[in-house]
Structure formats: C-alpha cells, structure tokens
Structure 1
Amino acid sequence: MANFNIWVLASSVTLLYFIGLVIYRLYFHPLSKFPGPKLAAVTSWYEAYHDLKGSGGQFMYRLNKLHKTYVRLSPDEIHISDTTWVDTLLVSSAQGTRDKYVPAANQAGTPQGVFGTSAHNTHRRRRAALSPLFSRSCAAGAEGLIYDKFDLLLRQIDAQIARDGYIEMRTVFLAFATDVVSKYCLGRSFGLLEDETKGKEWHDSIRALAKTIPYARQFNWIIPLSQKIPISFMRVVAPDMARVAAMHHDMEAQASQAVKEHEQEEKNSVGISFHRNPTDKFAIFRALLQHHGLPPPEKRFNRISHEAVTLMAAGGETTSSTLMMAVYFILADKQNILPRLREEVESLMSRGSSRPSVADLERLPWLTAVIKETLRVSTLTARLTRVAPDEALQYNDWVLPAGTAVSMTLREISFDPEIFPSPMAFRPERWLPSNPNLDKCNRYLVAFGRGSRMCLGINLAHAELYIALATLFRHRDFELHDTVRERDVDFSRDFFVGETSASAKGVRVKYAKLSV
C-alpha cells in the first residue's frame, strides 16, 4: 500500500509539473506573445513530428506555411523570414556576440569541433587555429592537387560511361571533392577516385550521415551514443549509424597518431613550426597542435578529431552537391549556357594541357555567373539558429530578449523573389555587370553563410568549383541521361544540406560526342 501511495504521489507531482510547464510556456514565457502554433509553444515534439515523418527532413516545409515574417516554432526559438534581417542576426565578431543554439550545434555529433561549438568565444579561438590552413594563399597552393584529382575524375567518367553508357555525377563528384579535402587536410588522399567500390561506400556513408541529421537534430545523444557501441553490433542493428561511428573512430585514430608524432617531434627538436603546407601529413592536426592560441585541453586527440570529421564530411558533400547541380542546369539549357562557357574557357585553356590559376578563372564573367547561380540554387536547407547572450535584438516593433534562440533559413534568402526574380529559374545573367541589381544579388548570396561562422572552407571550395567546371566542359561534351529535375535535382528534404527525393536516381550523363 505504501508503494502504491508513493507511485500515486510521484505521478501527481509529475502531472502537476507538466501542467505548470504548459501554462508557463503559453502565458508567462518571455516568448509567449510571439505568434505561432500553440502546440509548438508547448513542446519541441511539434517540430520532431514534422521532421521525422515520411522520408524525414520535412519540417522546413511546415515552417514555410506557418508564417510570412516570424513565428515561435518551439518553446525557446523564434524564426524570422525577412531577408534584410540577416544583417542583424548573422554578424561578424566585431559587430556582436552570437552563440550557436546548443541543439543546433550538437546535431552533427561533433560538439568539440568548430561546427559544433556553441559559445562564441570558444568558437572564435578554435576557428582562429584552423583559418590559416584555409586561407586564400593556401587554397591557391592546392591548385595543382585539384587539377591532378580532376584528371583522375575524367578517367573514371570515361571508364564508367564506356561500361554502363552513363555515369551518376553526385557519387563521382563526392569522390573527387573528398580526395581533394583528405589530401589537403590529412596529407593522404582517401583514393576514392582510384577505387570505384570505395567511392560508392563513401557515398553511402555520407548519405547515412545525412539521414541521421533529422534524428540527431531532435535527439542530440544519438551520434555520441553510437560511438560507444561496438561497430560489429551497430552494423547489424543500425547500419547507417555504424557508418557514421566508423568515420569518427577512423579520425580519432589518425588524430591520436598525430598527437604522438607531435609529442615525439617536440622531444627531438626545438622550435618546430608549422608552415601551413596543406598537403603535409596530418596538416589539420599539426595546425591545431602547434597553434599557440589553443590551451593543452583543446589539443586532445578526441577533440581535434571532431574537426577532421566535420571537414571530411562537409568538405566533400557540399562541393559535390553544388557540382552536381551545375552539371544539370548547364546541360538542361545546353544551347544557351554551354557555348558561351566554352568560349570563355578556351581563351585561357587553348591547349589541352593548360592549367590556368583560379585567379585567372575568376576573371571569366560567364563562368563566374554560372558558379554564383549554382551556389544560389544549392544553398543549404537548414535554418541557422543564433543566440545573442547579452543583447536584446529588435525586429520591427518586437523585442527579442537577450538569450533568445533566433533562426533564419538561408535558402529562403536565396529564393526571395524580391532579390532574385523568378527564383526557381536558373539564370546566370543575374550575376553579370549588366544587371542593375547586381550589388543586391551579391549582398544576399549567402551560400557560404554570413558573419563570424561563415564557411571556413570557402576558398578551397571556390578553387574546386572553378577548376572542375572549366575543365569538365573544356574536355568533354555531355548530355543528360534519364534525369528529371523534380525527382533527381530539386531538394525535397532538409538534412542540413539539401537532399533529393528518396526515389532519386541522381544526375546522370552520357557523352554526346568527344571533343576534338
């Protein structure tokens, strides 16, 4: 009887707590006056339901239907849909302090890396240690590496088309971009372009990581837990999570080896310095281990491994997705886009072996316009959530209290018809000097983010995009093969990066004829 009474008391207290919490969130919470669904104000399960149903990543569509300006989309988060307000939310360190909302920071399972760092000052310190490795000069020094990898890419394209009659571009572009970033950061290429099976396995691993994002967004403990479970068991019960965990373990092993080598170097020599050669062995780890601005706890192998996981996954995925889209849109409007592109590229690459610098390629207006328009249409689907810890933010007549989680979706900016008329249309001419609104277009090109957390790898990504698109269409003449925009190209799911439909076959191409 006593035990029964205890259970009744515990249940009553729990029920009263949740009733009180609901009342507080609806009527007394600092955000209670902001418009939004009552259910969303009460519980984050509102988002979870829409994000996890069906094939996943669907909450962004629900969010689009909820508001025209702002909405309370969870008990603690406000979302604003107003392009001009991005200059208030996503600011540089000199303009204000912006923490990353903790649940958003933890969704990739790398809380100790730059991407997963919540606190503004900690992020700034960690980013400063990595930034020199991704400077414009370092990226320029990798041009030869990018050209070499693209030569391997062309060979794989030739081999697969000769065998199958076509090739799916996202997988092969992912192999290319990952081989570049692995050589650039670790001094050792993954060799995906030289082994088609490994390339497909890596593609499956990245797709597995993407699929976990909607779940990790709602349950931040999923990825950390998966790393503590034996891989052999995970492969049986949750193969997608096993691939993600294996990636973490691999980077931890390399980071541990880098720490050992660094400690040995310190014992054997005096005053060693890192010259930021991006193709050195363990370049990313050496950059961190030898950076004087990081305290010893920040140089532990299981901390710096998080940086490598982020760069290996994001550095390949975002670039490959952008290149895939570029190929589709160029070939979908081949007669209007391609002749002008080839004419420009020929002016720099008159010989088949020509390897112009990225700086020279950036001076080609049509190539630049094609790349910018591709970046616009391939902008991340995720909303970026920030917290101004010490500052109340103003939106029209509304005051957002200090410490409020506030988000914006970059893709909404990229498809804002007030900035980019007919936003669903692929129009490179928007980015030509003849466009009277060019300055506004450039101001709101946010594919790499904005502010203090802007994409770290922007210079390397630019180099890959320019070299890949100039070289690909200089040497080969393609046409699309059984590719449907709605099925294979347009994003229909939010896995932080955009994901096509579950039935997608990918952007597939075949040769129209070989260039002579």
Structure 2
Amino acid sequence: MPFMAFENFGSFMLVGILCAILYFIGVVVYRLKFHPLAKYPGPLLGKITDWYSVIRSLRGDRHIHFLRLHEKHGTFVRFGPNRISVNTAEGLQKIYGTKANTNKSNYYNVFDEVFKGDSSLTTIDNQLHAKKKRTVSVALSESSIRSMEELILRNIRSFCESLGQKTSGSAASTPDGEDRWSEPRDLTDWADYLAFDIMSDICFSSSFNMLHSTGNRYILEMLPKGVNGLNVCGWMPALLRFGIGDWFYPGLSKNLQRYEAFARQQSTKRLALGNDTGHHDVFSHLLLANKNSKSGAPVFSPSDLVAETSLLITGGSDTTATAIASTLFYLMHYPKALARLQAEVRPRFSSLESIRPGTNLSTCRWLRACIDEAMRITPGVPGLLPRRVLAEGVTIAGEWFAPGTDLGVPHYAIHHNEALYPDSFAYRPERWIIGCSSDSADGHVTSAEEVAKAESGFCAFSIGQRGCVGKALAMKELMVTIARLVWLYDMRLAPGEEKVGGGGRGEERGREREHELQIKDMFVAKTKGPVMQFQRRQKTVD
C-alpha cells in the first residue's frame, strides 16, 4: 500500500508538471500569435513576459534598447505582453496630453505597496491625484518660489564658491598660470549636493548640508538604488509580493527598506517642527491642506506624507542635478556654444548678485536653449512612464489600442527621433531658437517649423495634467546656476579627465559616442562627470 501511494503521488506530480508545461506553452502561443497586440514588432522575450523590462531595468540600459528597437521597427514596439512603446509626437500627446484618454498604469501600485500611501506623482485615482496636485502646485507656484528665493540663491552661492576653491598648497604662482585653477570637481557629485540641499531647505526647512559636509552624502548612493528597486518591481510586482526580488536583484529588499525608512524619517522630523520653521516651506502646504480639508478627511494621510516626501526628495533633486551636469558637459565639449553663452550672459549682468530670477535672466534665449538641448540629449528620466488606456480606447497613427493596454513614450528615444531632431546626438542649442544660425559650415538658420517640431517631442518634464509640477522651480535653479558659473568663471575639463562621463570605443552599442554624457537608467538618470576646473575670470564685479 505505501508503494502504491507513492506511485499515485508520483503520477499526480507528473500530471501537474505536464499541465504546467502545457499551460506555459499555451500562454506563449497565445501571446505570440493570438493576442490583440501580436501584430506589433518587438523583442521576443518582451512579447512573452515582463521579464524583459525587469532584465533591462536591472542592466540600466532600457533607454538605449528602446531607441534601438524604434530605429529597427518604427513607430510602435511591443515590449511587454500588454505594453506598447510609441515614438512620435502624436503619441506623446495622445498618451500624456491634457486630453489623453489614459490613466497611470498598475506599474505605480508598487509605490503604494512600499510606502503604504500615495503621492501626487504615483496615485492612479484621477480625483485623488487632482486634490494632491492642487496642493503641491500651490506649494511650488511662482509666488511660493519667490518667497523662497533667498534660500535658493544662498545654496547656489555656496555651490559657486565651492567650485572655485583651489587645491590646498597651490598658493605659489606658476609661470603657466596653473595655480589659478580650482581643484578638479566631478560635477555630477556637486550638482547633486546643490540640488539636494535646495530641496531639503525649501521642502523641509532643514538642509542636508551636502555642499559643506560629507555626513549626508550617503543619500546619493542609497536613493537611486531604492528608486530603481521600485522601478524593477513596478514591471513585475510578484518580485515584491512573494519576496523573491533578492534572488534576481541582490539587496533589493534592503534598498527598498532603506529608501522607505529615510523618507519616513524626513517626514517625521518635519512633522515635529510643526509650523515653527521661519518660512512657509513645501511641507507646510501639505499640512495646511489636511487642516483645511472640507470633507474632514486628510488629503495626505501619514503614509501619504511619507510617499510625498520620497517624491519631493528624488523628483526634485535627481533630475535637476542631471540637467546641471549635462549642460556643463556639453558646453565643455562644444566650445562655440560656450562662447556664445559667455557673450550673452557676461555683458548683460553688472554683478554676480544681479543674476537672479526675473525678466533679465528669463530673456537669455541662448542660455535657455543650452539647457533645453542638454535635457533633450540627456533626459533626467530617460525611460518610459506607462499609461493605461481607458474606455473607448486610444488611436495613434491610425492604430486603435483597446482599453487596458499599457502605452508609453520613452523619453530618450523620442528625444533622438531624427524626424524631430536631425543629427540628434549633436548638441545644437540653435534648434530651439527661430532665426538662429548654426556654427556649421552651411550656416543653417532655424525655421519656425523646425522649432515647432522640436517642441512637439520635448518631454524632459513630461507633459499634460500629470507633468512635473516643479518645472518652474527647476528652470529657475538651472538658469541662475549656469548663468552665475558662466559669468563668474572660465572653465575647463580637468587635464587627464577629459573623457570622464562620455562614451567611447569598446563600449556597448549605443555608448560609443565620446561627446554624449552616458547615463544609467535607474528610472532617474545616473551619470558621472564631467570633471572640471574653474578659474575666476578677469574683470568680474561682485
């Protein structure tokens, strides 16, 4: 009898295994041949399973692969069983625009699972999103930013001073003037210090003080790992729900726990301050929204405040820092663009302190074009933000996509769409200014049509109702920071460090361009370099 029982158990096991194999084969055949999206081209693994997105997210090269896939297949690429990537300006409007018939996809549920609450960025419910966004929009409005202007300028002032500091022991002059150059600085690191200090000051009334102390700089290593952990689990939530993520991404659970704990710590510290902060910071607007809630229920629960804290820290810092580093990288590799910027900024301002938000700065067209072009080539969020199609579907380029389909436009891919940006890997700020001539031999003059095309595909801050509410703040930081550096200093790539940050021969396909700042796609872009030195220019007036 025991033998027969064992034999029966073995038979059941065999039947179970065979059923599982048949089910797997059935799913694969359905997704490849009979699924509504089966006709769209894409990587074989992506058509079958979301493991494709998980693997590419772990490698940090999804942005490169999206570009390559669209170059090969055209407008539409199927990158998941129920996911389509679109690489056109029409797709950008239909998926993210103010009239888009889409919503956040279930990808964003992972944020709720980790933080046990929703932020204004990640909440899927449109009505709840509208309530939260109204509050954050007021907190980051033009009037609110003006009230925090001195805090922002104080940090930018410290940043500029720190970059100009000379190497210790360099007091003795040298015939070649080398003694006048500052200590080499990795601008990715220093832009991070600046951006995080500004955001902590204006959001929580408590600076991380990274510009002057190493104590909190560990955050810069910890946060991207946590964000990328969310990114990986967003594509395949089972990794988090069943606790198997560490098998494929060692340290995943630890990184997520550290990220959540850090956000909770910052939220708790700020709550303890109450309203006694000396100024009206961003967090105080969240607390005020709870106090004035007409329904009696808080707009932001304690867990929501933690989730919002994570958004404010990461979304408001990483992307701005990447834009600063990338703008300086391209100015260093395109000296004619730098010379035109110097010619625009230096005569316009009589002193360093006169460079501040206002009409004089906002009308620096070449400055704005230099920043926009850097964000185009190297977007702070290089990947794809998925949206779920709602009832009645979405039609793009004559193709109808059914409700429930996930659609998205990869930022890096559309920013290098040659139909919108000819010679897309060249740094050409003139492409953003009507009537502006290029420095090339043909002296091409940018037309209104070319500028309109460029603007139609530009999504460094995303677009539509779900676009970045901190865009105005970010642009003020960027304009003031770059203008002050250009006005105050002559700049160069540190000798021996000229290639840091760029691509090169022998790198993987898509990373071979020396004059492109290379990024690792960890949902937010992570970079290295440029390594620069600064020398106070002659005839500056403080």
Calculate the TM-score normalised by the size of structure 1. 0.84
Do residues 140 (structure 1) and 158 (structure 2) align? Answer: no
Do residues 439 (structure 1) and 466 (structure 2) align? Answer: no
Q: Which residue of 2 aligns with 1:486?
A: 503
Contact 2:90 2:396 in 1 (8 A): no
**Structure 1 residues 370 and 257, CA, compared in 2 at 3 Å: closer, same or farther?**
closer
Contact 1:172 1:199 in 2 (8 A): no
Q: Which amino acid aligns with 1:373?
A: E
1:243-265 Cα deviation digits (max 9, x unpaired): 55334223323434656776xx9
Counterpart of 2:533 (choices 499, 507, 510) is 510
Contact 1:35 1:72 in 2 (8 A): yes
**Structure 1 residues 84 and 167, CA, compared in 2 at 3 Å: closer, same or farther?**
same
Q: Which residue of 1 aligns with 2:69?
A: 63
Q: Which residue of 2 aligns with 1:103?
A: 107
After the TM superposition, which of the residue ranges 67-76 and 433-442 deviates more from structure 2? 433-442
Q: Which residue of 1 aligns with 2:487?
A: 474
Contact 1:358 1:463 in 2 (8 A): no
Alpha-carbon separation, structure 1, partners of 2:81 and 2:253: 29
Q: Secondary structure at the match of 2:490?
A: strand
| Residue 428 of structure 1: how far off its partner (Å) | 1.4
Q: Which amino acid aligns with 2:360?
A: D
Q: Secondary structure at the match of 1:452?
A: coil
Q: Which amino acid aligns with 1:26?
A: L
Alpha-carbon separation, structure 2, partners of 1:57 and 1:378: 10
Do residues 279 (structure 1) and 284 (structure 2) align? Answer: no
| Residue 57 of structure 1: how far off its partner (Å) | 7.0
Alpha-carbon separation, structure 2, partners of 1:513 and 1:422: 35
Alpha-carbon separation, structure 2, partners of 1:9 and 1:406: 39
Contact 1:41 1:73 in 2 (8 A): yes
| Residue 33 of structure 1: how far off its partner (Å) | 3.5
Q: Which residue of 2 aligns with 1:252?
A: 264
1:342-396 Cα deviation digits (max 9, x unpaired): 3433344312432432443111122122122222222231112211211211233
Q: Which amino acid aligns with 1:411?
A: Y
Contact 1:161 1:167 in 2 (8 A): no
**Structure 1 residues 15 and 113, CA, compared in 2 at 3 Å: closer, same or farther?**
same
Q: Secondary structure at the match of 2:316?
A: helix
Q: Secondary structure at the match of 2:306?
A: helix
Counterpart of 1:192 (choices 205, 210, 222) is 210
**Structure 1 residues 253 and 284, CA, compared in 2 at 3 Å: closer, same or farther?**
farther
Alpha-carbon separation, structure 2, partners of 1:141 and 1:363: 22
Contact 1:324 1:507 in 2 (8 A): yes
| Residue 416 of structure 1: how far off its partner (Å) | 2.0
Do residues 333 (structure 1) and 346 (structure 2) align? Answer: no
The unaligned stretches of length 5 or more in structure 1 are 227-233, 266-273
CA RMSD of aligned residues (A): 3.4
After the TM superposition, which of the residue ranges 420-429 and 45-54 deviates more from structure 2? 45-54
Contact 1:413 1:444 in 2 (8 A): yes
Q: Which residue of 1 aligns with 2:376?
A: 376
After the TM superposition, which of the residue ranges 41-50 and 320-329 deviates more from structure 2? 41-50
| Residue 402 of structure 1: how far off its partner (Å) | 1.6
Alpha-carbon separation, structure 2, partners of 1:313 and 1:39: 31
1:21-52 Cα deviation digits (max 9, x unpaired): 23332344332343444543222223434444
Number of positions where the alignment pairs a residue of Structure 1 with one of Structure 2: 489
Q: Which residue of 1 aligns with 2:401?
A: 400
Alpha-carbon separation, structure 2, partners of 1:276 and 1:15: 65
Alpha-carbon separation, structure 1, partners of 2:64 and 2:377: 19
Q: Which amino acid aligns with 2:261?
A: H
Do residues 498 (structure 1) and 525 (structure 2) align? Answer: yes
Q: Which residue of 2 aligns with 1:271?
A: none
Contact 1:52 1:214 in 2 (8 A): no
Contact 1:179 1:191 in 2 (8 A): yes
| Residue 56 of structure 1: how far off its partner (Å) | 7.8
| Residue 77 of structure 1: how far off its partner (Å) | 0.8
Do residues 151 (structure 1) and 169 (structure 2) align? Answer: no
Aligned sequence identity (%): 21
| Residue 166 of structure 1: how far off its partner (Å) | 0.6
**Structure 1 residues 381 and 121, CA, compared in 2 at 3 Å: closer, same or farther?**
same
Q: Which amino acid aligns with 1:383?
A: L
Q: Which amino acid aligns with 2:530?
A: V
Q: Which amino acid aligns with 2:337?
A: I
Alpha-carbon separation, structure 2, partners of 1:99 and 1:286: 27
Alignment of 1:51-450 (within 5 A): 51-53=57-59, 59-60=65-66, 63-64=69-70, 66-92=72-98, 95-103=99-107, 106=110, 112-159=118-165, 161-162=167-168, 165-195=183-213, 197-198=214-215, 200-209=217-226, 212=229, 215-220=232-237, 242=254, 244-256=256-268, 278-279=280-281, 282-283=283-284, 285-290=286-291, 292=293, 296=297, 298-334=299-335, 336-379=336-379, 380-434=381-435, 435-436=446-447, 437-450=450-463
Q: Secondary structure at the match of 1:89?
A: helix
Alpha-carbon separation, structure 1, partners of 2:373 and 2:188: 18
**Structure 1 residues 52 and 494, CA, compared in 2 at 3 Å: closer, same or farther?**
same
Alpha-carbon separation, structure 2, partners of 1:402 and 1:340: 49
**Structure 1 residues 244 and 74, CA, compared in 2 at 3 Å: closer, same or farther?**
closer
Q: Secondary structure at the match of 2:354?
A: coil
Alignment of 1:25-44 (within 5 A): 25-44=31-50
After the TM superposition, which of the residue ranges 324-333 and 212-221 deviates more from structure 2? 212-221
Q: Secondary structure at the match of 1:420?
A: coil
1:320-342 Cα deviation digits (max 9, x unpaired): 111001111112223x2334323
Alpha-carbon separation, structure 2, partners of 1:254 and 1:37: 42
Q: Which amino acid aligns with 1:69?
A: T
**Structure 1 residues 294 and 52, CA, compared in 2 at 3 Å: closer, same or farther?**
farther
